[in-house]
Amino acid sequence: MSNSSNEELEVIAISNVPHVKIHGRTTTVRSPLTLFWTGSAAELNVQGAEFWVEIESSYDLLEPWISIVINGVPVSRQMLTRGRAWICVFRGMNPNAVKNVRIIKDVQAMSGDLSNSLQFHAVKADGTFLPVEEKPLKIEFIGDSITSGEGAIGAKTEEDWVPMWFSALHNYTFMTAEALDAEYRVISQSGWGVLSSWDNNPNGNIPAYYEQVCGLLKGEQNEQLGALEPHDFSSWQPDVIVVNLGSNDDGAFQSPAWTDPITGQVYKQRLNGDGTYHEADLAKFENAVERFLIKLRKNNPQAHIIWAYGMLGSSLLPAIYRAVDAYHGQTRDHAVSILQLPNTTEETMGARSHPGDQSHRRSADVLTEYIRRIL
């Protein structure tokens, strides 16, 4: 489609575009700019009639998708097939009016595809770029498939695990941030938990990678992109951290053991004969929650931390309360609290047995209200 771009427009490397606001953790490299996490975005205020962006998409299996939001309204959503392409964001508009444009990564970081990447190379426009206003509030969301918006778009009958059914916008993270006029970031991975992933794999835990830019990505390409670099926490300090983890830690109790292919070690969160959680294993989970809180606090000294849980059941909530109690006992840190989110019902279910748009909306309402009271 490169033949379709307006040849008279000036191409500017993304590194040279003034006033680009980047949402989501990334490296300092801007040639090109890589977006890793869902909800990550490049935001610009463009004064001009026409605006294009050059994006490069890479993957073996799982392709990136983007959504485009103009003046607060989502107007486009598309799959990015492999390669480098110019995408026209708008054209034929009043050259004097300023358009706020956000180009948002609509799928999570794909730990299951070593070749997956999404990069911004350049823009073309016939106008100028103005500063993007700073938001008064910053929120970081940390979670699993729920927070990745898995199943938040698509028919209830959909069962394929494909990027198309992920959404950053039909998502309580986006909804909450919009309602609170907040800037936000997301750290999330489908299937992962605090202690392990749903299948008892101990490597599928978010805390282990929390201090890297996007450390759960594997492979040489991601390493070169800087995904494994330490994250510079001083560059962005959230006012609120929302942790929505636990659903897959519960799954581990319900799932078969996982054997480490290298060490041969077997991992399994056990249930008792009566279906209740095995106490020693539950303690491991609680310990993991407590350690994660310590790590969060170390890196975010001022943030109010909310463990918000319950969109797909809340069976680990008592354990989370115990973990937060233990954390309180140890630290006297009272800026950590727990919020039970509304469970997803038959009516609010989306695709792939995950929360649908309505469930995300309900949780966003509860969370928004809760954050408003805290602040």
Largest distance between two CA atoms of the chain: 72
Minimum CB distance to a second copy smaller for 12 or for 326 = 326
Task: Assess 326 for contact with a second copy (CB under 8 A).
Answer: no
Contact (Cβ atoms closer than 8 angstroms) between residue 144 and residue 189: yes
211 binds a second copy (CB under 8 A): no
User: Does residue number 154 form part of the binding site for a second copy (CB under 8 A)?
Assistant: yes
Cβ 180 to a second copy shortest distance, Å: 14
Within 97-136, the residues that bind a second copy by CB under 8 A are: 97
Measured between alpha carbons, how far is 198 from 194 in angstroms, rounded to an integer? 10
- Taking the least distance from each CB to a second copy, the nearer of 260 and 372 is 372
Peptide bond into 202 cis (omega under 30): no
19 binds a second copy (CB under 8 A): no
- The DSSP string of 58-97 is E-SS---EEEEEETTEEEEEEE--SEEEEEEEE-S--TTS
Residue with smaller CB distance to a second copy, 10 or 234:
10
Selection from 104, 137, 292 nearest residue 211 by Cα: 292
Helices 317-331 & 279-299, crossing angle to 10 degrees?
A: 50
Residue 343 found at the interface with a second copy (CB under 8 A): yes
Q: Which of 325, 330, 374, 375 binds a second copy (CB under 8 A)?
A: 325
Supply the DSSP symbol for 360: H
Q: Does residue 16 belong to the site contacting a second copy (CB under 8 A)? A: no
As a whole number of angstroms, the distance between CA 249 and CA 332 comes to 26
CA distance 266 to 288: 18
Q: Which is nearer to a second copy, 158 or 229 (CB)?
A: 158
Asked whether position 92 contacts a second copy by CB under 8 A, the answer is yes
CB distance 45 to 38 below 8 Å: no
Instruction: Return d(Cα 183, Cα 363) in angstroms, integer.
Output: 18
Q: If binding is defined by CB under 8 A, does position 334 make contact with a second copy?
A: yes
Is position 36 an interface residue for a second copy (rule: CB under 8 A)?
no
- Contact between 96 and a second copy (CB under 8 A)? no
Q: Could you say which of 44, 107, 139, 153 contacts a second copy (CB under 8 A)?
A: 153
Q: What are residue 309's DSSP bridge partners?
A: 340
Tell whether residue 11 is a contact of a second copy (CB under 8 A).
Answer: no
Binding a second copy (rule: CB under 8 A), the pick from 31, 78, 237, 265 is 78
H/E element, 307: strand 304-309
Q: What's the rounded Cα separation, in Å, for the pair 281 and 172?
A: 30
* Residues 303-322, interacting with a second copy (CB under 8 A): 310, 317-318, 321-322
Between 15 and 343, whose beta carbon lies closer to a second copy?
343
The closest alpha carbon to 21, from 5, 42, 49, belongs to 42
Check residue 179 for interaction with a second copy (CB under 8 A): no
- Nearer to a second copy by C-beta: 57 or 188? 57
Our finding on whether 57 is near a second copy (CB under 8 A) is yes
Complete DSSP assignment for 171-198: SHHHHHHHHTTEEEEEEE-TT-BSSS-T
**373 is a site residue for a second copy (CB under 8 A):** yes
Residues that bind a second copy (CB under 8 A): 1, 3-5, 57, 61-63, 70-73, 75-79, 81-83, 85-86, 88, 90-94, 97, 153-155, 157-160, 162, 164, 274, 276, 310, 317-318, 321-322, 324-325, 328, 334, 338-340, 342-343, 345, 366, 369-370, 373
